Amino acid sequence: MDQDEILLDAEERMEKATSVLHTQLQGLRTGRATPALVDSLRVDYYGSPTPLKQIANISVPEPQQIVIRPFDATQLQSIAKAIQASDLGLSPSSDGKLIRLNIPPLSTERRKQLSSRVNDLAEEARVAIRNIRRDGNKNADNSQKEKILTEDDRDRTKDKVQELTKNAEKRINDTASAKEKDIMDE
């Protein structure tokens, strides 16, 4: 791999790691209703775990309520089961055509739990970023051994990988602290 390939690979993988964190944080409850809370919830749909957003229309008619209208009304029970089995802490109420989820205000204890979860997810993302840095440095070393890169090029590549790592970690920290602030301020 030449220098550009190593850097491009590291940058793309770091971008994916930060976007995964962003997606995971969207699913955390903050006291406000948002479709992202239940979008990726897996529902047993005719024996196959399917994301809820593929089998139902999800809307937020009020700031504290989510309405789930399944495309197939026979799936109400399986959707309700999936919501109850999730770690959202919400209880669905069904009227035979749709499911309503009322989002109660968060208690202080639940806020602390969610804040801790944000920190855990951010640390997982930072570990992924560090693994990507390690891979980039290893690729640079291997390229230098294979005479694709000079020692100076290898060192510059490692410096640029480290710079990418710092930028990615900063984005992760900023995202996590914003979400944590959002949770604690509600």
Answer yes or no: do 19 and 55 share one domain. Answer: no
Answer yes or no: do 96 and 137 share one domain. Answer: no
Last residue within a domain, chosen from 45, 70, 102: 102
Answer yes or no: do 45 and 95 share one domain. Answer: yes
Answer yes or no: do 168 and 79 share one domain. Answer: no
Answer yes or no: do 112 and 143 share one domain. Answer: yes
pLDDT by 10-residue block (mean), the chain, 186 residues: 91 95 81 80 89 91 90 89 83 89 83 89 96 95 92 94 96 94 80
Residue 17, pLDDT score: 94
Residue 184, pLDDT score: 83
Answer yes or no: do 80 and 129 share one domain. Answer: no
What is d(CA 146, CA 140) in angstroms, rounded to the nearest whole number?
10
Last residue within a domain, chosen from 72, 87, 102: 102
Answer yes or no: do 139 and 95 share one domain. Answer: no
Residue 45, pLDDT score: 87
Which of 22, 5, 19, 17 shows the shortest CA–CA distance to 161? 5
CB 162 within 8 A of CB 133: yes
The CATH number of whichever domain residue 153 belongs to comes to 1.10.132.20
Answer yes or no: do 115 and 66 share one domain. Answer: no
Answer yes or no: do 138 and 123 share one domain. Answer: yes
Grouping H, G, I as helix, E, B as strand and the rest as coil, residue 46 is coil
Q: What angle do CA 62, 121, 163 make, to 5 degrees?
A: 120
Residue 186, pLDDT score: 62
Answer yes or no: do 11 and 81 share one domain. Answer: no
Phi/psi-derived region of residue 29, left when phi > 0, alpha when psi is between -120 and 50, beta in every other case: beta
The CATH number of whichever domain residue 58 belongs to comes to 3.30.1360.40
pTM, two decimals, is 0.73
Answer yes or no: do 96 and 76 share one domain. Answer: yes
Looking at the structure of the chain, the number of domains it has is: 2
What is d(CA 68, CA 1) in angstroms, rounded to the nearest whole number?
49
What is d(CA 31, CA 8) in angstroms, rounded to the nearest whole number?
39
The parent domain of residue 126 ranges over 3-26+107-185
Answer yes or no: do 22 and 56 share one domain. Answer: no
68 DSSP assignment: E
Last residue within a domain, chosen from 102, 128, 158: 102
At which residue do the structure tokens 């804040």 appear?
115
